Amino acid sequence: MAIRYIPYYPDTIEGQAILDNFARTRRTLKYRDNDKVIERVKRGAPLYEMEKIETVGDNKDGNMVIRGECLSACAYLKDRGIKVDLVYIDPPFASGADYAKKIYVRRNPQLAEAIAKAEEELPNDELQNFEEKMYGDIWDKERYLNWMYENLFAIKSVMSETASIYVHLDWHIGHYVKILMDEIFGEDNFRNEIIWHYSTLGRPDDRFALKHDTIFLYGKTDETFFNKEGATMQYSEEYIKSHFRDVDKNGNVCRKRFDAGKWRIYYPDDGMIPNDVWNIPYENSMSKERVDYATQKPEALLERIIKASSNENMIVADFFGGSGVTAAVAAKLGRKFIHCDIGINSVQTARDRLIANNAAFDMLEIKDGVSFYRNPVQTMEKLKTLITGLRNEDSLDKFWEGAIDGSKEGTIPVYIPNLLDSGAKLLDLALMNRIIREAMPDLPDDTKKVVVYYIDAIDLKEINDFIKEYNDTLIEIELRDLKELLDEVVAEDYAEYTIGEIKNDLFSGWRVKINKFISDRVNRKIDEYNEKLFNSPNRILIGESGLETIEFLSLDCSSDSGVWHSDEEIKIDKFGYAIKNGVKTKDFWDGAICSEKKPLRLKIRNICGDENVYKLCD
Ligand SMILES: C[S@@+](CC[C@H](N)C(=O)[O-])C[C@H]1O[C@@H](n2cnc3c(N)ncnc32)[C@H](O)[C@@H]1O
């Protein structure tokens, strides 16, 4: 349940295009339901409990990696009076795609060397792997725009007066969002439409190849901070050769140009602020920068943005942080950072990336009831399996998730809020009204009961009173709390380990050896994958010990409870090599983790991203 609602930035800019214009241009934009978002914007962003999960290094700068929704992260920042100086967001594009992550089964440490030899010739894709959904980008335009509108409002309310916002989109939805941005930030605060041009493979022969994304840059006010020096780029040698053909009175190479009414002299070392078309290559799968995140953007792109629109020590925020590229570049450039993302895979990837950059930060989790499972897409899928007897029912409108058979009540339609859409999460009077007035009248005549799941409700009593007063159908409405269902999802992974003290010439300390690791959640995924392959040789095989399903281990030698402090950690990359405390090695993981100090807790992350903590007893 939200603690309270935090008001957004007061109002849209007077005299600018307002959302209602869309309704008037129904013919082209068909933007229905835009009035629904107004209610939500009036209510504000939901503020939830925030839990600190881990602290990395001496986080004097207050850097944050937040797991949760953009809206609630903004509510948290606003509640604490934290303002950010630069925002870059690369939200879902409404691309119609589902993004998946390849999960690589690691090598069995006992057999690692032998397997490596056998696999030497295989391309990466042939390492044992299966896929897991990360996030879905399938929206209808209206829902997307409403969602985006609310997010932009939330973000605006945490921007400092001189802050800039870069919104990275493409042809799918970019032009519509530009209109929302005009409304929210004001046409006068528009700064640039940046074209990020890249060359990737694939050229259709029936039209021009789509090879650019669009980044809209707005200021919060007309006093936007712009770092002229940071934005300036050096000329390439080629450019100098072709453009600098004059000499000054001292014989230095220069370029003389008649600019803005007078002659000016430019020198090769001066560099210049680039124009709005940026040619920056996409990092391919072999690049060192790649962290296996489907929509990962290049560091060079973020470097240009961060250098141009911030100074050292300013706060740079990315509320759809993905692979952590913004936070990683901000940290490298001496900026403070806030990374937020709804998916567990994102916050883990960002965390591990930042550790490799020696950054200090806190890992925070918003307790909003949505992020129970690894991400909302997987939570939605899981939910459907948890509702006993739920099946698709073709005769029902798509508003209903499906139906269950109740012996006395016949077929019971079930409504589940779409966790991908923050607007649908909250059961309020408007939604109840819609259920009663729009969804229930279309149900088959013999329907006796419906079940409405909710994740959050402002006031259940008020909703029940509303049902009593306005439900004039004969259909009973049962409200059920989704969180209770989700509580059943979390099953612990099982680990067997031995701890020993070691003293020899090379090392003095402790060694925790993992003997067995069983993750039902991972094993179930592998079983599902194998089932589809029948007897194919590509079936995934896991050894007795199950150590191939471990991705990461960490030891906390400082405290046996509360916030995690990683004193030693090992990440096992997809080839089986150990990354120790962020430093890549060419050693295969040997099935153990060592620390100089006595370890008090062990954390193990499985290859799908679930983490478990084990208290280490003597
Ligand atoms: C296009 S990706 C960002 C990629 C990122 N710029 C990078 O370079 O790695 C969009 C991200 O938004 C996240 N996301 C989707 N809905 C969200 C929400 N409501 N709040 C926060 N993050 C969200 C997804 O999990 C995904 O990681």
User: Do 396 and 443 form a contact (C-beta atoms < 8 A)?
Assistant: yes
- Backbone angles phi and psi of 463, in degrees to 5: -65, -45
Residue 218's DSSP bridge partners are 165, 190
What digits encode the pLDDT tens for the residues 242-271?
A: 999 999 999 999 999 888 889 999 999 999
Give me the long-range contacts of 314-318 (CB less than 8 A, separation at least 24).
314/85, 314/86, 314/225, 315/82, 315/83, 315/84, 315/85, 315/86, 316/84, 316/85, 316/86, 316/87, 316/88, 317/84, 317/86, 317/87, 317/88, 317/158, 318/87, 318/88, 318/89, 318/90
Paired tokens of 478: 């049962």
**Mean pLDDT of the region 432-461:** 87
464 and 410 in one domain? yes
**Mean pLDDT of the region 215-238:** 95
- Backbone angles phi and psi of 5, in degrees to 5: -110, 135
User: How is the chain split among helix, strand and coil, in percent rounded to 5?
Assistant: 30, 30, 40
Question: Residue 38's pLDDT band (boundaries 50, 70, 90)?
Answer: confident
User: Rounded to the nearest whole angstrom, what is the distance from the C-alpha of residue 135 to the centroid of ligand 1?
Assistant: 8
**Mean pLDDT of the region 355-363:** 96
Question: Residue 502's pLDDT band (boundaries 50, 70, 90)?
Answer: very high
432 and 548 in one domain? no
Query: What pLDDT does 487 receive?
Result: 63
Range from 33-42, 196-205, 326-335, 580-589 that averages highest in pLDDT: 326-335
Query: What pLDDT does 28 receive?
Result: 31
167 and 81 in one domain? yes
Query: What number does the ligand 1 atom closest to the CA of 293 have?
Result: 9
> Would 182 be classed as within a structural domain?
yes
CATH code, domain with 192: 3.40.50.150
- Identify the residue whose C-alpha is closest to ligand 1 atom 6: 90
- pLDDT at 84 exceeding the cut of 50: yes
Q: In sequence order, what DSSP letters do the residues of 95-147 get, joined into one string? A: -S-EEEEEEEPPPPGGGHHHHHHHHTTS-GGGSSEEEEEEEE----HHHHHHH
Question: Residue 445's pLDDT band (boundaries 50, 70, 90)?
Answer: confident
Range from 222-226, 370-374, 381-385, 468-472 that averages highest in pLDDT: 222-226
- pLDDT at 325 exceeding the cut of 50: yes
Q: Rounded to whole angstroms, how far apart are CA atoms 464 and 402?
A: 23
Question: Residue 22's pLDDT band (boundaries 50, 70, 90)?
Answer: very low
Query: What number does the ligand 1 atom closest to the CA of 302 have?
Result: 8
Is residue 427 classed exposed, middle or buried when 0-12, 13-18 and 19+ CB atoms within 10 A define those classes?
A: buried
Choice among 1-10, 31-40, 359-368 with the minimum mean pLDDT: 31-40
- pLDDT at 32 exceeding the cut of 70: no
153 and 91 in one domain? yes
Query: What number does the ligand 1 atom closest to the CA of 346 have?
Result: 27
Q: Rounded to whole angstroms, how far apart are CA atoms 64 and 337?
A: 6
Helix and strand totals (H; E) in the chain: 18, 32
What digits encode the pLDDT tens for the residues 365-398?
A: 998 876 666 677 777 777 788 888 888 877 778 8
Q: Choose between 365 and 134: higher pLDDT.
A: 365
- Backbone angles phi and psi of 244, in degrees to 5: -100, 90
Is residue 4 classed exposed, middle or buried when 0-12, 13-18 and 19+ CB atoms within 10 A define those classes?
A: exposed
Residues contacting 304, CB < 8 A, separation 6+ = 231, 233, 274, 278, 280
User: Do 39 and 5 form a contact (C-beta atoms < 8 A)?
Assistant: no
Q: Choose between 384 and 576: higher pLDDT.
A: 576
- Backbone angles phi and psi of 598, in degrees to 5: -70, 125
Question: Chain-wide mean pLDDT for the chain?
Answer: 86
Query: What number does the ligand 1 atom closest to the CA of 89 have?
Result: 6
Paired tokens of 321: 């942080």
- The residue segments making up the domain with residue 404 are 376-487
User: Do 352 and 327 form a contact (C-beta atoms < 8 A)?
Assistant: no
> Would 313 be classed as within a structural domain?
yes
DSSP designation for 57: S
pTM value > 0.75: yes
Query: What number does the ligand 1 atom closest to the CA of 168 have?
Result: 6
User: Rounded to the nearest whole angstrom, what is the distance from the C-alpha of residue 512 to the centroid of ligand 1?
Assistant: 36
Q: Rounded to whole angstroms, how far apart are CA atoms 20 and 25?
A: 9
Query: What number does the ligand 1 atom closest to the CA of 343 have?
Result: 25
Paired tokens of 284: 């391919």
387 and 335 in one domain? no
> Would 122 be classed as within a structural domain?
no
What digits encode the pLDDT tens for the residues 288-313?
A: 888 888 889 999 999 999 999 999 99
What digits encode the pLDDT tens for the residues 406-428?
A: 778 888 999 988 877 777 777 88
Choice among 115-129, 170-184, 503-517 with the minimum mean pLDDT: 115-129
User: Do 84 and 77 form a contact (C-beta atoms < 8 A)?
Assistant: yes
Choice among 24-33, 42-51, 69-78, 464-473 with the minimum mean pLDDT: 24-33
Query: What pLDDT does 25 receive?
Result: 37
Query: What pLDDT does 159 receive?
Result: 97
> Would 472 be classed as within a structural domain?
yes
- Count Cβ neighbours within 10 Å for each residue of 491-508 and write b for 16 or more, e otherwise: eebebebeeeeeeeeeee
- Last residue of one domain, picked from the residues 346, 366, 386: 366
Instruction: Please name the residue ranges forming H helices in 399-511.
Output: 422-425, 429-434, 460-470, 482-487
What digits encode the pLDDT tens for the residues 531-565?
A: 877 777 778 888 889 999 999 999 999 999 999 99
User: Rounded to the nearest whole angstrom, what is the distance from the C-alpha of residue 154 to the centroid of ligand 1?
Assistant: 16
Query: What pLDDT does 380 receive?
Result: 77
User: Do 132 and 373 form a contact (C-beta atoms < 8 A)?
Assistant: no
- Last residue of one domain, picked from the residues 487, 519, 541: 487
User: Do 186 and 219 form a contact (C-beta atoms < 8 A)?
Assistant: no
279 and 204 in one domain? yes
Question: Residue 18's pLDDT band (boundaries 50, 70, 90)?
Answer: very low
482 and 384 in one domain? yes
338 and 242 in one domain? no
Task: Give the residue, out of 213, 295, 299, 418, with the most ligand 1 atoms within 8 A of its beta carbon, to mutate for a pocket test.
Answer: 295
pLDDT above 70 covers a percentage of the chain that reads 88
User: Rounded to the nearest whole angstrom, what is the distance from the C-alpha of residue 166 to the centroid of ligand 1?
Assistant: 14
Q: Give the pairing type, strands 583-588 and 577-580.
A: antiparallel
Query: What pLDDT does 125 receive?
Result: 53
393 and 512 in one domain? no
Please state the domain count of the chain: 4
Longest CA span, the chain:
98
Query: What pLDDT does 408 receive?
Result: 80
CATH code, domain with 458: 3.40.1340
- Last residue of one domain, picked from the residues 366, 397, 419: 366
> Would 399 be classed as within a structural domain?
yes
> Would 125 be classed as within a structural domain?
no
Query: What pLDDT does 321 receive?
Result: 97
User: Rounded to the nearest whole angstrom, what is the distance from the C-alpha of residue 467 to the centroid of ligand 1?
Assistant: 37
User: Rounded to the nearest whole angstrom, what is the distance from the C-alpha of residue 496 to the centroid of ligand 1?
Assistant: 35
**Mean pLDDT of the region 66-74:** 95
Ligand 1 is surrounded, with C-beta below 6 A, by: 69-70, 90-92, 135, 293, 295-297, 319-320, 322-323, 325, 340-343, 346, 422
Q: Choose between 613 and 399: higher pLDDT.
A: 613
185 and 86 in one domain? yes
DSSP designation for 391: B
Q: Rounded to whole angstroms, how far apart are CA atoms 327 and 536?
A: 42
User: Do 475 and 452 form a contact (C-beta atoms < 8 A)?
Assistant: no
User: Rounded to the nearest whole angstrom, what is the distance from the C-alpha of residue 109 to the centroid of ligand 1?
Assistant: 34
User: Rounded to the nearest whole angstrom, what is the distance from the C-alpha of residue 137 to the centroid of ligand 1?
Assistant: 10
Range from 97-101, 230-234, 443-447 that averages highest in pLDDT: 230-234
> Would 128 be classed as within a structural domain?
no
Task: Give me the amino acid identity at 548.
Answer: E
User: Rounded to the nearest whole angstrom, what is the distance from the C-alpha of residue 91 to the centroid of ligand 1?
Assistant: 5
327 and 404 in one domain? no
398 and 526 in one domain? no
Task: Give the residue, out of 169, 306, 320, with the most ligand 1 atoms within 8 A of its beta carbon, to mutate for a pocket test.
Answer: 320
Paired tokens of 563: 């916030």
- Identify the residue whose C-alpha is closest to ligand 1 atom 16: 342
> Would 107 be classed as within a structural domain?
no
